[in-house]
Structure formats: structure tokens, C-alpha cells
Amino acid sequence: MTSCRSKSDVQIANEAGILIVGNSNEPKGLDPHLVSGVLESNIIRAIFEGLCVEDPAKDGSSLPGVARSWKSNAEFTEWIFNLNPEARWSDGVPVTAHDFTFSFQRLLSPDPNWPAKYSEMLHFIKNAQAYNKGEIKDFGEVGVKALDDFTLKVNLRGPIPFLPEITKHYTWYPVPKHVVLKHGEMNTAFASPWTRPGNIVSNGPFKLKEWKTNHRIEVVKNPEYWDAETVSLNGIRFLPISNYYTETRMFGDDQLHVTYSIPSEFIPYAKEKYPDQIRQEPYVGIRFLRSNIRRAPFDNPKIRRAFALAIDQKAICEKILQGGQKPAYSITPPFGEYKPPKVIAFDPERARELLKEAGFETSAAFPDISILTTDSDTGRREAEALQAMWKEHLNINVRIMQREWTTYLQKQYDADFDLAAGGWIGDYLDPTTFLEMWIKDGGNNSTGWDSPRYEELLRKAENTADVPTRMGILAEAENILLEDTPVMPIYWYTTNYLLRSEVKNWHPLLLNNHPYKFVRLENN
């Protein structure tokens, strides 16, 4: 008698050329102008494309995307991007320079009801910030212009030799003017149906096929893509698995090609069970806490510093995470030529002194406070560790408030929190990707903090060509941020995930932005 075992999800997907990816949670949306998370980026990078794209194996290297070539002036303040006439939207309409100018104007809309939280990514463009803040009314004064259908000129507010690297971020992607306006006004928000299945038109190597809420998002190869011959995969299936224990089990049951993460306590097991499939790689990112300085007691910098100094970062890294993470003494990780200031370190004695200086001789009078985090098991375990540390070292009780992803984000946008766990992955390989977040009214700031001197130093660095001098100015700015402590660094990230061996052209990258157009599946 012969038994027959049905094929696994992965075997079926391999035969169909479909990559199955764990993607952490249900995305907030697919409009490149209205999201700010990594999990949304993972999908958007598959269906949209900017001027330049990532090299699949080399950090800091830019390959042609919609732009087939580019050049700058000697000062790196003016750039010309020559677009590929073969670039098409998924409905066959050409992608033009006018789509880019429309998209930039849309993202930078000064409308106070326009919920774009990432508009500062375009503030490098001359007068973009002033337009975004309503200080100038004419978008024609902003430093971006379509010289013709396939030539885009960008003038910057300062010298940026790494601009091609920035254009790989989804805020710089074009959206289809003809489709957006078909379904509403230029800056129609989440209610717009233009990104829904059946309506959405995109320009990347893949296009949206299906979106089943809390189940999966599936994209398929885009036949209109200008470089479709390079694309090996027939599609990608993104699964919103918020429970990383479940995700790890699904990987073991041949239901996934790649996981979003690995639960920290599973890492020793994964090293033994999947020695050839576990990946532990450097990642330019930071885990931290935002404090809401609009609310007492975190309107007091001494209280903020006390809470920061009562966090045993080393214990979190070694006893809880176990993934090679490093205790963070700054917001910006040390990479390249940047040496961040060493300001924050575990010092419970000093933390208690700061509480007394702030007027809290005992914890009895301390107000009721909470820490906001996601509804994942990892988020809960991290929050419980912080809760225990603040109880042990400061004798302060902190409630844990877990919310699903969209609500978690909205509470921060609404400033409805005391402390909020957060993370930030570099958008490009320069310290400013971490420091520009904390400008006044920055969409991802959410703390209520700002400093004119801090922003003055950022602008000074932006206009400094000498690299060592520029890095020193940025470190001086970061010192201001850390001394005032609106954000509390915890640890610098690494990536810990599982990857099946049949996935090829998936190389370690510091920003973990793997370009799907180069990925292929090989049956073993």
C-alpha cells in the first residue's frame, strides 16, 4: 500500500513561482504618501518604483529605476534625472516627469487635514518645507520641474551627494496622476478608493492582485514593467502574521519562504533546528521610547532622563532579545564615518536622584502613566521588561497599553500616550535619516519636542561639504536631542529571520530593503 502526502504550501508556491513572505501585521494602506511603516514599505516596494532602485547585493549603490540616468552639478545642489520612455503604469500609460511633480506636490500639501506623516522626506528639495508649511503658496517656487515628459530637474536646499539613495524611499515614488484624480482630489486621504484592488495602478515589477484583510495581500508580475524580463518571480504573497511564534511554526511547516522575524526565545532553537536558514545580520535601526512632553510628568526633562537611565539596555539585549542587538547610547547607530555622542547609559542611582530633583521624593505622588505598544507578543514582553525595571529602580508602576497596529500608530499621531515604544529603520545610509525625524511638527516626531538650535545645526550640516566637519555638526545636534531626552534609546537593531534555501539573490543589506525584481526561486 502506498501513502500519498499532499504538497506543502511552499512546494506549491515554488512550482508557481510565488514567494511567500511573513509581513508582521495588516498594513495601514498602500498609498505611498499616507504610510510610514516598514511592513507597508515591504509591499509598496514591490508594486511601485522610484527614480532609482536598490542594488540586490551592495549597500549604498543605486541602479536605474524610472530614471535610466542622472547627473548633478559640482555642488550636488541641482540634479537632472532622465526618465526611461519605456516606463509604464500597469494600465499601459507612460510614467512621465509630470507624475513626479504631481506626486511631490500631493505629498507636500499644506492642507492641515492631509494626513501625510512623512512629508519631511521631500524637504531636501528647495522651498519644499516652506510650501509644506504654507509659508509659500505657489508650488512653482518649489525646486522640482518637469523640463519635458521624460526629464525631471530637482534643485535642493543644500548639497546632497547621496540624493539617488534618498529617491529609493517610497515617499519619492510617483503615484498615477490620471488614476488619483479619477477617484477624487489630489490630496484625497484614506477614503479614496484609488488604492483598492481593481482600481490601483502602479509602476513597479509587480501589481496588486488581491487584498484579503487580515489574511493576505498578493501581487503578481506586472507585464507592463519596463524591465519585466529581469523579474523571475510570478508573484509575492504577503501574510500579516503578528504572532512571531505562529510565524516560526508556519516556517517549520513549509508555509513560508521568509519570516518577518524570530521570537527572541526561539533563536537558540532556530540555530539548532535551522542552522542553514537562520539569518542574523546588521541592520541600521534603533528601538526607543517616545515620551509625550505635552503631558505631565514627561513635560519635565529630568523625569524623561530618569526613566531613560533606569532602563537596563544590556539586560534587554542579552536576556530577552538574544539576537545580537547592542545597547544604544544614542538614537543614531554608529555606521560609516558617524560617531554618535555617548549620552544615555544605565545608571539607576542617577535616575533616582533626578526624580528627587524633579520633586518626587517618593513614588507615592507620581501620576498614573502607561506605555503604549503593539499587540504582538514581542511588544508585550519588551513592555513587561521595562515595566519591571522602572518598578525595581524607580518604584514607579507603569501600565501596559497594547493596541493593534493601526490604532497604535493613530494614538501616536493624536498624541494620546505617555510613553510609546517605537522603532526606526534608516531610510538611507546617512545620520540625517535618524535626526531629521525630530524637527518641529515632523510627521514621525509625535513627542511634541522641538529645538531651534537643533534644527539650526541640521541645516548647518546640510550646507557643509567636508565630511568629518559635517559629521561633527550632526553629533552636536544629536547631543542636544539626547540631553533633553524626548526619546529614550534602548537598543540598536539586528535582523533575525528565517529564509529558505531555494530563495536566491536575497543578500544581507543594512536597510533590509531587498529588491524583489532580482529575487528568484530554485527548487531543491
User: Which residue matches cell numbers 533616582?
Assistant: 352
pTM, to two decimals: 0.87
Measured from the Cβ of residue 392, the count of other Cβ atoms closer than 10 Å reads: 12
Instruction: State which H helix or E strand residue 439 sits in.
Output: none
437: CB partners within 8 A, 6+ apart: 120, 424, 444, 445
In three-state secondary structure terms, 79 is: strand
Q: Domain 285-494 class?
A: alpha beta
In three-state secondary structure terms, 99 is: helix
The three cell numbers of residue 461 are 550640516
The three cell numbers of residue 296 are 505631565
The three cell numbers of residue 199 are 482600481
The three cell numbers of residue 34 are 499616507
Confidence of residue 190 (pLDDT cuts 50, 70, 90): low
- Please tell me the distance from the alpha carbon of residue 153 to that of residue 140, in angstroms, as a whole number: 13
4: CB partners within 8 A, 6+ apart: none
Instruction: State pLDDT tens for residues 321-360.
Output: 889 999 999 999 998 899 999 999 999 999 999 999 999 9
Instruction: State pLDDT tens for residues 381-399.
Output: 899 999 999 999 999 999 9
Write down the CATH superfamily of domain 9-238+499-521.
Answer: Periplasmic binding protein-like II (3.40.190.10)
Instruction: State pLDDT tens for residues 152-178.
Output: 999 999 999 999 999 999 999 999 999
Q: What per-residue confidence (pLDDT) applies to 2?
A: 40
Confidence of residue 1 (pLDDT cuts 50, 70, 90): very low
- The stretch 456-461 carries a mean pLDDT of 96
In the chain, where the domains are located: 9-238+499-521, 285-494
Instruction: State pLDDT tens for residues 36-64.
Output: 889 999 999 999 999 999 999 999 999 99
- Judge if 9-238+499-521 and 285-494 fold alike in CATH terms: no
Q: What per-residue confidence (pLDDT) applies to 524?
A: 58
Cβ atoms of residues 335 and 511 within 8 Å? no
- Please tell me the distance from the alpha carbon of residue 182 to that of residue 343, in angstroms, as a whole number: 52
Cβ atoms of residues 74 and 465 within 8 Å? no
- Please tell me the distance from the alpha carbon of residue 119 to that of residue 121, in angstroms, as a whole number: 5
Q: Is the pLDDT of residue 308 over 60?
A: yes
- Please tell me the distance from the alpha carbon of residue 104 to that of residue 95, in angstroms, as a whole number: 14
Q: What per-residue confidence (pLDDT) applies to 37?
A: 87
